[in-house]
Amino acid sequence: MKPWGSIKGQEVGLYTLANAGGMQADISNYGGTIVSLRVPDRNGTLADVALGYRTLDEYAVSAYSPYFGALIGRVGNRIARGRFSLHGRDYRLATNNEPGGLPCHLHGGLKGFDKMVWKAEPFKRNGAEALRLFYTSADGEEGYPGNLEVIVTYSLGADGALSIEYEAHTDKPTPVNLTNHCYFNLKGEGEGDILDHLAEIRAANYTPVDKGLIPVGTIEPVAGTPFDFAAPHRIGERIEDRHEQLVLGAGYDHNWVLDGQGGLLSLAARVTEPVSGRVLEVLTTEPGVQFYSGNFLPLPGALPPMIGKSGKPYLHRGGFCLETQHYPDSPNQPSFPSLILNPGEVRRSVTQYRFSASAPVSL
Ligand code: BGC
């Protein structure tokens, strides 16, 4: 562990997980944040493919926190008007986001799990370096019911997979939707935009949204739309199409309904960067994935600029997220898979970000 400062007297550190293939992940117990992720290209050259800041202060005091690399909870994604009802009681949560002028609760509220100092325990499992993080969210925190105990385990396998295992227990029924918000650029952080990356998503359907980016409640086929990534497409190929949903999202910022999710770890998405050959495969037990193409990262010339950890500016679509999760606004959408965790139950999910490199192109 490398000391990385403190937040209100609580020590914060950086924990490095490494594997034999040369991959390295630096993870902080502040927000359980993936601060850097060094991954080899097809020639073995490492690049840090995760967007993030250099110092703890920038994560902690940045007025604009785009949730770089952070763990998200208690409920990731949006809840319409910050309201939901459970067992006849109405709950009001902070509204900390307002797309299209419609206020909503986003990523756990004003102080979500991304802004908490977690207890950390590094360990080894079957030869892999791992980090277990613990956080207890008190009854009433950010308006949610019940004391929620959360354990997140990161481990870095010899196969190039950074695994994230989530576990949660509660003492009152509560919605729970945990994810990680890493922004990737497989060329390396700060190396321009991600529009040339090739993406595939294993989903025949998605959940279209209204102007507040809240699902309208239907599950619609992606076939014949710019949302169809069954075969690989450049992220930028159709992103400027005048499709209503792309206009509402200012690009891709939607939940894909993953095929064949029966709680088994299966492939959700694959993204390839053709020049470096780096490939990211995302596997998950979750039923959905929010594919966000970094549309709210600053446009060129915007002030103040957003400067990443190696001094390069982060710009519009300079990173993409694949946030594995249940569907947005699930507490208000009876037809979506339920987020409710009850006392006595254990909520478990697993997501893997698995890196490899495609073979060199022979000349
Ligand atoms: C959401 C975006 C939001 C971003 C915050 C993503 O998960 O889908 O709409 O702007 O988080 O940085």
Tokens 């965790």 correspond to 341
Tell me the whole-structure pTM to 2 decimals: 0.97
DSSP SS3 for 143: helix
Give the model's pLDDT for residue 65.
73
pLDDT at 202: 98
Helix, strand, coil percentages for the chain (3-state, nearest 5): 5, 40, 50
The finding on whether 114 has its CB within 6 A of some atom of ligand 1 is no
Q: Tell me, what's the pLDDT at 359?
A: 77
| 31 φ/ψ sector (left φ>0, alpha ψ -120 to 50, else beta) | left
Q: Which atom of ligand 1 is nearest to the CA of 328?
A: 8
pLDDT attached to residue 360: 62
Q: Is 253 in the pocket of ligand 1 (CB under 6 A)?
A: yes
For the Cβ of 292 lying below 6 angstroms from any atom of ligand 1, the answer is yes
Q: Answer yes or no: are the C-beta atoms of 261 and 285 closer than 8 Å.
A: yes
Cα(292) to centroid of ligand 1, in Å?
7
Of the residues 169, 181, 254, 326, which is catalytic? 181
Q: Ligand 1 atom 5: the closest Cα is on which residue?
A: 66
Atom of ligand 1 nearest to the CA of 253: 8
State whether the beta carbon of 290 lies less than 6 angstroms from ligand 1.
yes
Distance 40 CA to ligand 1 centre (A): 28
* CB of 73 closer than 6 angstroms to any ligand 1 atom: no
Question: Structure tokens of 198?
Answer: 């090739």
Verify whether residue 181 is a known catalytic residue: yes
Per-residue pLDDT at 263:
86
Contact predicate 128/156, CB 8 Å: yes
For the record, the structure tokens of 27 come out as 């993870």
Q: How far apart are CA 160 and CA 43, in angstroms?
A: 15
- 136 neighbors 149 (Cβ within 8 angstroms): yes
Task: Please choose, from the candidates 226, 222, 209, 181, the residue with its C-alpha nearest in 3D space to the C-alpha of residue 319.
Answer: 181
Residue 285 Cβ < 6 Å to ligand 1: no
Burial of 11 from C-beta contacts in 10 A (0-12 / 13-18 / 19+): middle
pLDDT at 362: 54
Ligand 1 atom closest to 295 (CA): 10
Testing ligand 1's pocket by substitution, the residue of 106, 248, 252 carrying the most ligand atoms inside 8 A of its CB is 106
Cβ(314) to ligand 1 under 6 A?
Answer: no
**What letter represents residue 283's amino acid?**
L
From first to last of its 363 residues, what are the pLDDT tens digits of the chain? 999 999 999 999 999 999 999 999 999 999 999 999 999 999 999 999 999 999 999 999 766 679 999 999 999 999 999 999 999 999 999 999 999 999 999 999 999 999 999 999 999 999 999 999 999 999 999 999 999 999 999 999 999 999 999 999 999 999 999 999 999 999 999 999 999 999 999 999 999 999 999 999 999 999 999 999 999 999 999 999 999 999 999 999 999 999 987 789 999 999 999 999 999 999 999 999 999 999 999 998 998 899 999 999 999 999 999 999 999 999 999 999 999 999 999 999 999 999 999 876 555
